[in-house]
Structure 1
Amino acid sequence: MADAFERRTPATYDEEILAAERHEVISSYTDEDRIRRVTEELRAGFRALAHVGAAASFFGSARTPPGDPEYELARRCARLVGEAGLAVITGGGPGIMEAANRGAREAGAPSIGLNIELPFEQGLNPYVDLALEFHYFFTRKVMFVRYASGFVVFPGGFGTLDELFESLTLIQTGKIVHFPVVLVGSAYWRGLVRWLEERVVAEGKVSPEELRLFTVTDDPEEVRDILRAAAHRRPRIDLSAANDGAA
């Protein structure tokens, strides 16, 4: 009997690992190979970002063009955050990510881009000073949370919503604490907040207090002030070097 699906090579490492058991996906990797690749990607990210202290991760649509009011608002917010002494971390792509990296560079703050391998190439924007390339979405997500003191979320699509709700879940379950989440663009987020209030809270799926895990604002200064008041991580020192120096 002929195969129901034409067999094909996976387009990304994410597809390769997630669809490895599917008959139509061709893979020559073992699970040990996959574990080694994931470990190497985590290790490279930890090493590259170990020096980052206070930082904020910015999210939003890759489809927002320069000159758009949302682009300019993200640029201004990132510039103020950078001037307040925080690094800015984005996905490294175009749109809101570019605007945030651009604002960070204008402030003289570290401008970090965590790019992701995609079947349709998005490429790094020209305002990234420290660039990392990730094959796996889940390893990249670790970096967004581990090296940031809070999230700034601008209007966006599925990827933006994914990061938003993952961060809220981590806070709700106590995996991260003292971690502000700021939604910028009240007109965009109003419908979502109303739905959360009228359906999710009303039906007891989350508590009213849990809606206070995020702040909605249009004010760049408020974004800066919220992030500046967050609990910030310290850059990690090289313990082996420190021990060598003490010897």
Structure 2
Amino acid sequence: MPELQQNIVDDLASVTTESWRTFRIMAEMVEALDTLNSLKVNCISIFGSARSTPDTQEYKDAEKISRLLVEAGFGIITGGGPGVMEAANKGAFDAGGESVGLHIHLPHEQGCNQYVKTRCNFRYFFIRKFMFVKYAMAYVVMPGGMGTIDELSEAFVLAQTGRTRPFPIVLYDSSFWSGMVEWLRKNMAARGFINEKEIDRLITVCDTPEEVVNHLRKIVIL
């Protein structure tokens, strides 16, 4: 009989039995829930590229969006890493607001950025994703790569299928996202794979930090 092959999801495979992984998963979730349940403010999750540098427009805009959201009474949640995540945490930190980082341990990932006030550490992406959804009143999705697309699609599907309350998903920078939105309409919707009304209901595209904040202030109840 050939040897069964499994993908490695953590560093327990060679030192213990598979069942012990359950306890690590439980412990990670309990610790994150205890930490995030202590938050005293409703938060907005901001996503975007970890590779953006401080001289890029998306970094500068993420920092301003975050600062304006804090001034409007929100806290900020990011992945806690570099790039757009750092910018959003910096904007919240400098404005004196809640700055949350959900930091994931990756083989080649940089450490948590210095602007995080409330930090949770994760080995498992699925637990981290759960926390993003559970504690977010809305998503602001900046330009980014496949990780950003992953978070966007996860949020969209949960809201689309009713597995979570419908919450606003803001795509920032129409020059970056318009091609994808057009593809959703002309390909997915045209072939009946998605309802075009779902796109209109769940996604809003904004082009300035002020537009993002004004939109969220109108539809998110603090």
Matches within 5 A, 1:1-247: 10=8, 14-15=9-10, 27-52=14-39, 53-212=41-200, 213-228=202-217, 229-231=219-221
Distance 2:133 2:16 in 1: 29
Cα-to-partner distance string for 1:171-221 (whole Å, 9 max, x where unaligned) = 001112241100001100011011111100100100110111110111212
Unaligned runs of 5+ in 2: none
Whether the aligned pair in 2 keeps the contact of 1:59 and 1:152 (CA below 8 Å) is yes
Query: Do the aligned partners of residues 16 and 226 (structure 1) sit closer, same or farther apart at CA in structure 2, a change above 3 Å counting?
Result: farther
- 1:15, distance to aligned residue in structure 2 (A): 4.6
Q: Which amino acid aligns with 1:48?
A: T
Point out the structure with max Rg over C-alpha: 1
SS in 2 for 1:94: coil
Cα-to-partner distance string for 1:51-110 (whole Å, 9 max, x where unaligned) = 223100100000100021111011110110111111100000111000100111122110
Moved over 4 A (4+): none
- 1:225, distance to aligned residue in structure 2 (A): 2.5
Match in the other structure for 1:237: none
Cα-to-partner distance string for 1:133-185 (whole Å, 9 max, x where unaligned) = 11100111111111110110001111100000000000001112241100001
Distance 2:179 2:216 in 1: 25
Cα-to-partner distance string for 1:118-145 (whole Å, 9 max, x where unaligned) = 0103111111111111110011111111
Distance 2:110 2:98 in 1: 21
Q: Aligned pairs, how many? A: 218
SS in 1 for 2:136: coil
Structure 1-normalised TM-score? 0.83
Whether the aligned pair in 2 keeps the contact of 1:180 and 1:226 (CA below 8 Å) is no
SS in 1 for 2:21: helix
Q: Which amino acid aligns with 2:152?
A: L
Q: Using the aligned pairs only, state the percent identity.
A: 45
Whether the aligned pair in 1 keeps the contact of 2:42 and 2:74 (CA below 8 Å) is yes
- 1:224, distance to aligned residue in structure 2 (A): 1.3
Structure 2-normalised TM-score? 0.92
SS in 1 for 2:103: strand
Whether the aligned pair in 2 keeps the contact of 1:179 and 1:231 (CA below 8 Å) is no
